[in-house]
A and B are shown apart, each in its own frame.
Chain A
Amino acid sequence: MNTATNMLNHLTDLTISPRLAKNLRRNIKERIIEFILMLAALSAVFTTFSIVAILLYESFGFFKTVSLVEFFTGTEWTPLFEDAHYGIMPLISGTLTTSLVALALAVPVGTIAAIYLSEFASHKTREITKPILELLVGVPTIAFGYFALLFVTPLLQKIYPDLPGFNMLSAGLVMGVMIVPYIASVAEDAMRAVPMSMREGSYAMGATRFQTALRVVTPAATSGIVAAYILAVSRAVGETMVVAVAAGQQPTLTFNPIDGAATITAYIVQVAMGDLPHGSIGYQSIFAAGLVLFAMTLCFNLIGHVVRKKYREQY
């Protein structure tokens, strides 16, 4: 093998023409460019790994004081009180409930909006509607938070007078409105990517627009639509300002959207705004909460990845 390679090298040395010989300066330039590009790519990887490392390191100190059993089975989260309890469940329940309310609104509305934009709207309507929808993404989330607290909650209280001023329903609904453009935009791109030949096949069979959209285009775009949902879940779970402002900051173990409760993110922002001594248990608790949040998002992304692979486009 080795001798063969040597012989080959020898042969190429013999036959190479000066014009084809490697240009040293060009070669070095290419290498430098390659190195810079690699650095840029690595910076993202490096940041992610350092975040995980810091989360793990600080949580390690937290779990020296608090047992994992107490952390995952405790029903009270009061790390800053005299009588401190460290059960993460109330924060998880708050996170899940607000996210579920948001998704219950955003998934159907976003999907229907995507189907409308991709399959029914005229070119002109789409050119006007889509940018407006995407403008919603640019609204600062704090504005959405106060919109929930000062507009949606009073509105809901007219229908249901016993609704507390801080509640997960209002926060979840507004979060849902916030997420609709994400789903609509990503799902619409996926549906528009379905080749026209597939639609023509459906129409040629005598299908209506609605049948074509629902029975052919939507299944063909499943992978992209699922990607949109995953993006939405990650948004909902990680959303901070809306829930911190409108859902209250009282950790409560409840899945009832009428109640007020704190989410993981709301707790982190609450603690971060106070001044806790570095290294104290309260300080460390936000890293433990952050680690849980990170694990949740990672789980959803993994599920999404598997589902997307299963339904990836094959046309």
Chain B
Amino acid sequence: MVTTSTPLKAESKNLNFYYSNGHQALKSVNMPIYENKITALIGPSGCGKSTFLRCFNRMHDLYPGNKYEGQIVMHPDNTNILAAGVDPIEVRMRISMVFQKPNPFPKTIFENVAYGLRVRDEKNKRVVADKVEEALKGASLWNEVKDRLDDLAFNLSGGQQQRLCIARALATDPEIMLFDEPTSALDPIATANIEELMDELRGKLTILVVTHNMQQAARISDYTAYMYLGEMMEYGDTDTIFTRPVRKETEDYITGKFG
């Protein structure tokens, strides 16, 4: 099963989450996130996988009335990022996110990638330019856009926009990157590009990805968690989950008997 030599990057401990309408979307979720590995969250719609993902960068704080219980502990500093005294902005400085639908800003390609540096008050133009180039290369977009960095980001295709959003998230050297169904709005070729890119990031970056595409989870992730109705049903390394799941429910979902 899980090799003990891989260091932990984060860990959710007895995590409960309640939306403002009182609905409990997560029920005592315990899950390890291993450093520089890709962890996939699968499960039917409404199972809480996106809710769980969005706890990691405190996105739920944007909407009044949402409530966390339990802990998400970041390593090596052992900080509970859900603690009352922790500034959500500090959390988001360490953990960045790529959304389901590409959401570039109404700015140039360059400024989109530089956004995180700008909000961190990086004034050195040299540093910004280097970081932007590095991030665009990391997102395999540099060759396509290097001659038109001053174009509006909206002029890019959907797949390019999503890679731009990945570059934007990479530019700030995050410790963990969250992907919320990053390919569900893309065509198969753009999807393959994104998957290839995530594969390249393996080993350099801790990734947590929500997907409702089982093949995708099987292809790209090291560990997989199956969630259902707000509960963590099964967690293990991806090969085991997909070939010898312990629970009947997991097997039913993976083999397409429901979901």
Contacts and interface: CB of A to CB of B under 8 A. Distances in A.
Interface in A81-112: none
Interface string A182-202: 000000000000010111111
Interface in A212-271: 215-216, 219-220, 222
Nearest to B63: A196
Contact of B57 (A197, A199, A204, A222): A204
A11 to B, nearest CB: 39
B105 A206 contact: no
Contacts of B92: 203-206
A205 B106 contact: no
A203 to B, nearest CB: 6
B89 A206 contact: yes
B154 A314 contact: yes
B52 to A, nearest CB: 16
B160 to A, nearest CB: 15
Contacts of B62: 199-200, 203
Given A200-B103, A201-B103, A219-B106, A208 B119 contact: yes
Interface in B93-137: 93, 96-97, 99, 101, 103-107, 115-116, 118-120
A205 B116 contact: yes
A246 to B, nearest CB: 41
Pick the most buried of B97, B105, B152: most chain A CB atoms within 10 A of its CB: B105
B106 A211 contact: no
A205 B119 contact: yes
Contacts of B89: 206-208
Contact of A197 (B64, B93, B101, B118): B101
Question: DSSP class of A's interface residues: helix, strand, loop or mixed?
Answer: helix
Interface in B148-166: 152, 154, 165
Contact of A206 (B103, B107, B165, B172): B172
B86 interface: no
B165 A201 contact: yes
Contacts of B37: none
B49 interface: no
Contacts of A201: 99, 103-105, 165, 168
Contacts of A202: 105, 115, 119
Given A197-B103, A201-B99, A220-B105, A215 B172 contact: no
B59 interface: yes
Chain B interface size band reads: 20 to 34
Pick the most buried of B62, B99, B103, B116: most chain A CB atoms within 10 A of its CB: B103
Interface in A42-74: none
B103 A205 contact: no
Given A204-B57, A204-B92, A206-B93, A215 B103 contact: no
A200 B59 contact: yes
Contact of A204 (B90, B97, B104, B118): B97
Given A208-B89, A216-B105, A203 B59 contact: yes
A222 B115 CA distance: 19
Contacts of A208: 89, 119
Contact of B59 (A198, A204, A215, A314): A204
Given A197-B103, A203-B92, A206-B89, A211 B57 contact: no
Contacts of A198: 103, 105
Contacts of B59: 200, 203-204
B175 to A, nearest CB: 12
B119 A207 contact: yes
Nearest to B155: A314
Contact of B168 (A122, A205, A215, A220): A205
Nearest to A197: B103
Contact of A205 (B64, B90, B96, B101): B96
Given A198-B103, A219-B105, A220-B106, A205 B154 contact: no
Interface of A: 122, 195, 197-208, 211, 215-216, 219-220, 222, 314-315
Given A122-B64, A315-B106, 10 more contacts: A200-B62, A200-B99, A202-B105, A202-B115, A203-B59, A204-B99, A215-B119, A216-B106, A314-B152, A315-B154
Interface of B: 57, 59, 62, 64, 89-90, 92-93, 96-97, 99, 101, 103-107, 115-116, 118-120, 152, 154, 165, 168-169, 172
**Interchain residue pairs A-B with the least CB separation, the first 6:** A204-B97, A206-B93, A201-B103, A314-B154, A206-B92, A205-B116
22 contacts: A122-B64, A197-B103, A200-B59, A201-B103, A201-B165, A201-B168, A202-B115, A203-B59, A204-B97, A204-B99, A204-B169, A205-B116, A205-B169, A206-B92, A206-B93, A206-B119, A206-B120, A206-B172, A207-B115, A208-B89, A208-B119, A219-B106
